[in-house]
Amino acid sequence: MEEKPFKCEVCDQSFSRTAHFLIHQRTHTGDKPFTCEVCNKSFSQSSNLHRHRRIHTGEKPFTCEVCHKAFTLSSSLLLHQTIHTGEKPFKCKVCDKAFPTSTRLLLHQSIHTGEKPFRCRLCDKSFSESSHFHSHQRVHTGEKPFTCQVCNKSFSLSSNLREHQRLHTGEKPFKCEVCKKSFAQLSGLVKHRHTHTGEKKIFTCEVCNQEFEQLWGMLDHRRIHTVREAK
C-alpha cells in the first residue's frame, strides 16, 4: 500500500505527495492563486486555469476519431463519443432507463421522486431541471436570445426558433398517419388529426378555467396570470 504521510488536519484525508496535499488545502481555505489574464476569473489549480483559457483562445485539442468534431475538454469528448458507441452505463433503478452520463440520470430520477429543486422567485413555479428553469425566467425578463438569421425575428426558446425556421426552409417533419399530409409544427398536426377523429380538443387554463381551441392560445393567455403573480 502506498504511504500517505501528508494528512489534512481539517478532514483527515491523507496524501502521498506534498503537491496534492497543498492543492487539497485550498478546498478548505478557498484560496484561488491562479487568475485568468483576460477575464480575471480565479482557480485553485493551474490545470483548471489552463482549461479555462481555451474559452478565450478557441482551442479545441480533443477530436472525435469518428466524425472529427473537436472539443475544448476531454470530458466533453468522452460524452460526445457515446453518440457513436451508444454506451449508456448509468441506469435508473426504478425503470431501468439508461443514460450516457450520471448528470442525465440524476435529472431523470426527479421524474420518480417528484423533486423540483429549481424555484422561480417571482412566481414560485418549480422545475426539475435547471435548463427548464432558465427558459422559464425569460417569461419574466422578456429576453429573446435566439434570433433567426434570415429575418432577425427573436425567440425566448431555441425550440421556437427551430419551428420558425421551417417557414423559411419549407420543412414539414410532422406527417399525418392517415392522409400523409405534412406540417411544419407538431401543433398543426395535432389540430389536423381532429378532422379524422371528429374530436375537438379543448385546452383549459388551470387558473381561471377559460377554454381555448388551440394550445398556443392557452399558453399565450397563461402569461397574463404569470405577470400578475410576479407583481
Distance CA 112, CA 90 (A): 16
For the chain, the domains span: 6-57, 90-141
Look at residue 89 in the predicted model and tell me its pLDDT: 86
> 5 is written with which cell numbers?
504521510
Look at residue 226 in the predicted model and tell me its pLDDT: 56
Examine domains 6-57 and 90-141 and report if their fold is the same. yes
Q: Give, as one character, the DSSP assignment of residue 139.
A: H
What CATH class is the domain 90-141?
A: alpha beta
The CATH number assigned to the domain with range 6-57 reads 3.30.160.60
List b or e across 30-56, with b for residues whose CB sees 16 or more CB atoms inside 10 angstroms. eeeebeeeeeeeebbeeeebeebeeee
Across the chain, which has 231 residues, the per-10-residue mean pLDDT values are: 84 89 89 91 90 88 91 86 85 87 79 81 82 84 90 88 89 90 84 77 73 74 59 46
> CB under 8 Å, gap of 24 or more: what pairs does 71-74 form?
none
Distance CA 105, CA 206 (A): 31
